[in-house]
Copies of this chain bind each other. A is one copy, B any other.
Amino acid sequence: MLPRSLPRPAPPMAPLADLYHLTMAYALWRTGRHRDPAAAELFFRREPFGGAFAVGAGLGQALRSLGALRFSAADIAYLRSVLPSTTEDAFFDYLSTVDASEVTVTSVPEGSVVFSRVPLLQVKGPLLVVQLLETTLLCLVSYASLVATNAARFRLLAGPEMKLLELGLRRAQGPDGGLSASKYSYIGGFDYTSNVLAGKLYGIPVRGTVAHSFIMSFRSLEEVQPRVLSPLAGGKPMDLPSLAESWLQRDFQGLLDTYCVMRSGLPNFCAVALALHQLGYRAIGVRLDSGDLIQQSKDTRRVLRACGAHFQVPWFGSIPIAVSNDISEQSLEDFIREGSEIDMVGVGTNLVTCPLQPSLGCVYKLVEVNGSPCLKFTEEEEKMTIPGIKAIYRLYDAAGHPFMDLMALENEPSPSVGQELVVHILGRRGEATKVRPSAVELLHRMYLRDGQVYEELPSLQEVRSHAQASLNLLSPVHRQLRDPQPYLVAMTEKLHLLLAELQHASQ
């Protein structure tokens, strides 16, 4: 017999790192700089999918993963085998003591609407550890935020009523990719997942329909066993297939037209649903999976309403209609514009693989070492980092919409409500602007302080609600999915000055 487990790493996992983090760790240790205090920040450079926002996600998992930062004996043995033979033994001894007990993390609350260049996370700690966390944090935040943003866009298009079902497990990057897809789609605004394991592990509501293979596995009504079903309210069991067949003889064929789905699928569904109704049961719904979904949903609804009226079954007209089959943002736009009768939409590939932009391109950059802010100098302005540990403020206008994220140095006083501020907007070289916020929010919270939990992480359900609330606050000009107005991100005068000084010094 085959081994009774999937070939997957046993927890706790070795730090998720690229090799260069280990060679750099050695170099830092050798130069005696491994315990220098340092800070790094994680951000993305451009909002995905041509929109003006992203939904920050994966932060909870990233924070929890810090608890797993520990090199096992097996990890150390492996690293010995791949690092140069000149690597000193004492380095490996040191590595076996490394953990996140001196790490401090501030972050936007998970599910927040976030913008390019603004740190999602800031990490402080010993230089060796701070740089070692790069890949772990990027790996856990980048795809999570991408798929949460993608899901949020589907939700914005669908409106609040339409049910959205995530079906992407088979298209994901393996089992855990599928779990991430389910979790972060839910955070972004989906209602359900088809992934049973995600339901079990995260408590996400699960839904499903039936597969073609199930239908295909039946070749005649004789194969339906057991034939009898007791009425829900009790009483003599009835022969369900015969009951359904008797409905098929009735006059509702005249209610149908000539579409293919109308010729066999729908009359059969109606016959079975009416037979079930006779016994006190309600049919759950129908799914359309090919052809012109909008037209079919309208035709189906018309038939269901006609049946309901004709046979006096009032709920029949509102039987939920679900659709699937390569659903994209464009499909949802069409559904809404054409006034479809669709109640639930299943999305797989176009949700989990994010084909419009399969990577968010988050980066993780050192911003301070030994108390000195540092800068990655480059001729491409977009690739320049902004130095220093920051306080980040979200500024709101009189209508309650956020209009600007403002990065300040950590020790600057907070902007005041109603007072004029001079700021420098990113992407507008040199130009200073004045703004007067109606409300000011300190965007980051401290979740981990010197390795100790400082604020408890919210539940998945709370994160999902926060995401919807955060999206609802956005001004429609930023929330619109196509050609939105870019959201403003700015620096205080002091931070702008520091950046200019460091740029000057490195030229």
A270 interface contact, C-beta 8 A: no
Q: Which residues of B contact A171 (CB under 8 A)?
A: 142-143, 359, 361
Stretch at the interface among A155-163, A223-231, A396-404, A412-420: A223-231
Contacts A7-B64, A208-B20, A217-B127 given; does A290 touch B2 at CB 8 Å = no
Q: Which residues of B contact A435 (CB under 8 A)?
A: none
A8 interface contact, C-beta 8 A: yes
Q: Are A172 and B173 in contact (CB under 8 A)?
A: yes
Bound-state Cα–Cα, A181 to B174, Å: 10
Q: Which residues of B contact A134 (CB under 8 A)?
A: 170, 211, 213
Chain A interface SS verdict (over half): mixed
Q: Are A3 and B174 in contact (CB under 8 A)?
A: no
Interface centre among A16, A78, A174, A349 (most CB of B within 10 A): A174
Q: Are A173 and B210 in contact (CB under 8 A)?
A: no
Contacts A195-B18, A219-B372, A359-B353 given; does A33 touch B225 at CB 8 Å = yes
Q: How many copies does the complex hold?
A: 2
Shortest CB-to-CB span from A68 to chain B, Å, is 5
Query: What string of 1s and 0s marks CB contacts (under 8 Å) between A68-96 and chain B?
Result: 10100011001100100000000000000
Contacts A14-B200, A24-B214, A31-B223 given; does A5 touch B68 at CB 8 Å = yes
Of residues 345 through 369 on chain A, the ones whose CB sits less than 8 Å from some CB of chain B are 349, 352-355, 357-359, 361-362, 364-366, 369
Stretch at the interface among A333-341, A374-382, A473-481: A374-382
Q: Are B226 and A22 in contact (CB under 8 A)?
A: no
The answer, among B7, B30, B139, B173, for a CB contact under 8 Å with A226, is B30
Chain A interface residue number, banded:
35 or more
Of residues 142 through 195 on chain A, the ones whose CB sits less than 8 Å from some CB of chain B are 142-144, 147, 167, 169-181, 194-195
Partner-B contacts on A (CB < 8 A): 1-24, 27-28, 30-33, 36, 38, 40, 61, 63-68, 70, 74-75, 78-79, 82, 100-101, 127, 131, 134-135, 138-140, 142-144, 147, 167, 169-181, 194-197, 199-201, 206-214, 216-217, 219, 223-226, 260, 290, 349, 352-355, 357-359, 361-362, 364-366, 369, 372, 374-376, 378-380, 383, 448, 451-453
